[in-house]
Structure 1
Amino acid sequence: MNYLKEVVILLLGPYLILLCRRVSGEQISGKGIINLAHRQSKWTPLMQTSANLSDITSIRSFFEFRTLDPEGAIFYGDTKEGRDWFVLSLRDGIPEMQIGKADILVSVKGGRKLNDGAWHLLELRSEGKFVVLEVNNNVELLVGLHSKLAEDELTGKIRLALGGMLVDKQKLFHPFEPEMDACIRGGHWLNLSTPWDADSTWEPRPCFSEIKKGSYFPGTGVAMFNTSDLPGLKTEEAGITVEIFGSWTGTTLSLQSTGFEYVLRELDGNKDIKEMQLGLKEGSESVAPPHEPATLTFTILKHSLVVNSKPELETESLDFFSMWKNGMLLTFGGVPGDSEAAKNTHYLRGCLEKILVQGQVIDLDRALYKHTAVSSHSCPTEAMNELT
Structure 2
Amino acid sequence: FDSEFEIRTLDPEGIIFFGDIGTERNWFLLAVHQGYLRAQTVHEDNQVIVSTGTVISDGQWKTVQVSKQERGIFVNVGGATAVKMEQSRESQVVELGGGLLRIAIGALMPNGIIDVGLNPALDGCLRNWDWVKQDSSILQHRVQESDAQRCWEHIGPGSFFPGEAVACLPLQAVLENMTLVRENPNWNFTVGLSFHPAPGSRGVLFAIVDPQNKTVLSVSIDKELVLHFRGKVLGSGTLSSNPCSMGSHNLELLVMERQFAMKMGTEQGVMQLDQDDLEHLKSIWSHSGSRLYLGGQPGGSSFFHGCLQVKIQGTVVDVDLAEVKHTGIRSHSCPSTMEIRDQNRARSM
TM-score by length of structure 2 reads 0.76
Cα distance in 1, alignment partners of residues 54 and 79 from structure 2: 13
Cα distance in 2, alignment partners of residues 148 and 292 from structure 1: 57
Determine the structure 2 residue equivalent to 1:332. Answer: 294
Counterparts of residues 95-174 of structure 1 (less than 5 Å): 95-147=37-89, 151=93, 153-166=96-109, 171-172=114-115
- SS, match of residue 38 in structure 2: strand
Alignment of 1:368 with 2:320, yes or no, is: no
Structure of greater relative contact order (alpha carbons < 8 Å, 6+ residues apart): 1
Asked if the contact 2:259/2:271 (under 8 Å) is kept, the reply is yes
Cα distance in 2, alignment partners of residues 269 and 290 from structure 1: 16
CA gap 1:314/1:273 in 2 versus in 1, 3 angstroms: farther
- SS, match of residue 264 in structure 1: strand
Cα displacement string for residues 166-211 of structure 1 (whole angstroms, at most 9, x for unaligned residues): 2777644x61111100011111112211545989xx9743211011
Asked if the contact 1:221/1:333 (under 8 Å) is kept, the reply is yes
Determine the structure 2 residue equivalent to 1:3. Answer: none
CA gap 1:139/1:188 in 2 versus in 1, 3 angstroms: same
* RMSD over aligned Cα atoms: 3.3
Cα displacement string for residues 358-378 of structure 1 (whole angstroms, at most 9, x for unaligned residues): 222211011122222221111
- Mean CA deviation greater in 218-227 or 141-150: 141-150
Cα distance in 2, alignment partners of residues 259 and 122 from structure 1: 45
Counterparts of residues 51-66 of structure 1 (less than 5 Å): 59-66=1-8
- SS, match of residue 57 in structure 2: coil
Aligned-residue offset at 1:155:
2.7
Asked if the contact 1:305/1:314 (under 8 Å) is kept, the reply is no
For 1:356, which of 298, 311, 323 is the aligned residue? 311
- SS, match of residue 156 in structure 2: strand
Cα displacement string for residues 115-169 of structure 1 (whole angstroms, at most 9, x for unaligned residues): 1111111111112420010111111111113447962623331101101112777
Aligned-residue offset at 1:230:
2.4
Cα distance in 2, alignment partners of residues 304 and 236 from structure 1: 14
Asked if the contact 1:208/1:386 (under 8 Å) is kept, the reply is no
CA gap 1:151/1:311 in 2 versus in 1, 3 angstroms: same
For 1:254, which of 207, 210, 232 is the aligned residue? 207
For 1:319, which of 280, 303, 306 is the aligned residue? 280
Determine the structure 1 residue equivalent to 2:125. Answer: 183
Cα distance in 1, alignment partners of residues 112 and 314 from structure 2: 31
Cα distance in 2, alignment partners of residues 149 and 206 from structure 1: 35
Aligned-residue offset at 1:290:
6.9
Counterpart code for 1:221: A
Counterpart code for 1:294: H
Q: Across the two proteins, how many residue pairs are aligned to each other?
A: 306
Asked if the contact 1:124/1:131 (under 8 Å) is kept, the reply is yes
Counterpart code for 1:155: G
Cα displacement string for residues 41-90 of structure 1 (whole angstroms, at most 9, x for unaligned residues): xxxxxxxxxxxxxxxxxx52101111111110001110123221011001
5+ residue gaps, structure 2, are 226-235, 264-268, 344-349
CA gap 1:93/1:259 in 2 versus in 1, 3 angstroms: closer
CA gap 1:259/1:306 in 2 versus in 1, 3 angstroms: farther
Cα distance in 2, alignment partners of residues 207 and 99 from structure 1: 29
- SS, match of residue 252 in structure 1: strand
Cα distance in 2, alignment partners of residues 73 and 359 from structure 1: 28
Counterparts of residues 1-388 of structure 1 (less than 5 Å): 59-147=1-89, 151=93, 153-166=96-109, 171-172=114-115, 175-193=117-135, 195=138, 204-231=148-175, 233-234=180-181, 235-248=184-197, 250=202, 251-257=204-210, 258=212, 260-261=214-215, 262-266=217-221, 267=225, 268-271=236-239, 291-301=246-256, 307-308=262-263, 310-311=270-271, 314=274, 316=276, 319-326=280-287, 327-337=289-299, 342=301, 345=302, 347-352=303-308, 354-382=309-337, 384=339
Determine the structure 2 residue equivalent to 1:28. Answer: none
CA gap 1:298/1:312 in 2 versus in 1, 3 angstroms: farther
TM-score by length of structure 1 reads 0.69
Identical counterparts, % of pairs: 26
